[in-house]
Each structure stands twice: as structure tokens, then as C-alpha cells.
């Protein structure tokens, strides 16, 4: 459906059970009642395949941005920047498009700071990155971006997800970069470990 301000690449329907009419196989032509869409028609290469399953992934959502504005976001997902991991006891797993996050594993929760360098460029931009640190521990993190401390709030957030061994840290930063970017995570002074 293409209207004045909306565009959809998926067919959509307003049939049973919300509309008690014979409409199977007939697409909706107006947003006059509740409707739904389906992603079952997606083609493309599998991301992962097992003897019992096939997994395909895609980045989708709703926005009022113009397509050319979304090109940078699409490139950040389809061609993410290379992540270089430094700091003792930390191993970079790279970018995981299923999580839309860069993944790091710590040997132990009291390993050194997680130091990351993203080789962002115009072809591989860094857009609102998420970093997942496995085996972080219970300490609240401090974030340093390009050498400057960042205050947690609207544009930088973190969460600790409890696991059986040590919490998993997830950090999100509102940021768009097309040049080398440095990010450091360390346990906040005085926070429990």
C-alpha cells in the first residue's frame, strides 16, 4: 500500500477474525479496520541451518524517515564495522546481527576493562551500537567514549542480565560514526563485584 506518507513492502489483510466477511486472499486497500501483515513470503539466504530448522534474519520496523536516511542504518547492520578488542581477559566475538550487538566474552568477571575499537567508515558505519559483555559480573559499568566519560541517561543505557555464573552486561549508545571510534567499559569505582 502506498499512501501520502506511508509505504509497505508487505501485503496486509483485514480479514477474519476482525472482519466477519469472505476475504481470504484479498488484500486490504484502506486502513479502515484492524489489520495484519505476514513475513512468511521472505526469500533470501539462510543465516543458520540445522537438520530440523532454517533461520533467516532481517532488519525491519516502522519509521517516518525517508529511505535515503535509512541507508546508513541498513549498512550498519548488513556491513558492520570491524571490532578490535583489547584489554586482558577479554575476547571479541564480533558482530551478531541476530542481536544487533557486538559481543565480548570475559574470562572472569574481574578481568580488566573492556576496550573496543570500531573501524567505522562510510561503507561500514557505526549506528546506535549495542555491546553485550558475557561474564561481566555484578559491578555497575562506567563508559568512556573516545576518551571522554559518558553519563548514563537517555543517550547511553546499560542493563545487567543475571545468569547462573555472572551477569551479562548490555550497553547501548546513541551514536552515529563513520570514523574510528573507541569505547571502554570498566567496573565503576566502589560498585560491588
**pLDDT value at residue 2:** 44
pTM of the model: 0.77
Calpha distance 27→47 (Å, rounded): 30
Is the sign of the CA dihedral 87, 124, 50, 167 positive or negative?
positive
**pLDDT value at residue 114:** 95
Q: Which residues in the chain show pLDDT less than 50? A: 1-8, 193
**pLDDT value at residue 178:** 96
**pLDDT value at residue 39:** 63
**pLDDT value at residue 20:** 65
pLDDT in tens, 104-137: 999 988 888 999 999 999 999 999 999 999 999 9
Q: Residue 143: is it exposed, middle or buried by C-beta count within 10 angstroms (0-12/13-18/19+)?
A: buried
SS (H, E, C) the chain: CECCCCECCCCEECCCCCCCCCCCCCCCCCCCCCCEECCCCCCCCCCEECCCCEECCCCCCCCCCCHHHHHHHHHHHHCCCEEEEECCCEEEEEEECCCCEEEEEECCCCCCCEEEEEECCCCCCEECCEEEEECCCCCCEEEEECCEEECCECCEEEEEECCCCCCEEEEEECCEECCCEEEEEEECCCCCC
Amino acid at each position: 500500500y502506498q499512501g501520502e506518507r506511508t509505504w509497505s513492502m508487505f501485503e496486509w489483510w483485514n480479514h477474519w477474525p476482525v472482519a466477519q466477511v469472505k476475504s481470504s486472499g484479498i488484500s486490504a486497500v484502506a486502513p479502515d479496520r484492524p489489520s495484519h501483515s505476514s513475513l512468511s513470503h521472505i526469500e533470501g539466504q539462510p543465516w543458520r541451518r540445522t537438520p530440523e530448522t532454517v533461520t533467516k534474519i532481517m532488519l525491519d520496523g516502522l519509521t517516518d524517515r525517508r529511505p535515503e536516511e535509512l541507508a546508513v542504518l541498513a549498512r550498519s547492520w548488513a556491513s558492520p564495522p570491524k571490532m578490535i578488542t583489547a584489554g586482558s581477559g577479554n575476547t571479541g566475538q564480533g558482530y551478531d546481527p541476530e542481536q544487533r550487538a557486538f559481543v565480548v566474552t570475559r574470562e572472569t568477571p574481574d578481568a580488566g576493562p573492556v576496550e573496543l575499537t570500531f573501524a567505522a567508515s562510510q561503507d561500514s558505519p557505526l549506528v546506535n551500537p549495542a555491546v553485550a559483555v558475557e561474564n561481566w559480573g555484578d559491578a555497575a559499568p562506567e563508559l568512556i567514549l573516545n576518551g571522554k566519560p559518558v553519563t548514563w541517561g537517555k543517550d547511553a543505557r546499560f542493563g545487567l542480565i543475571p545468569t547462573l555464573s555472572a551477569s551479562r552486561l548490555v550497553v547501548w549508545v546513541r551514536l552515529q560514526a563513520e570514523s574510528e571510534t573507541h569505547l571502554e567499559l570498566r567496573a565503576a569505582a566502589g560498585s560491588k563485584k
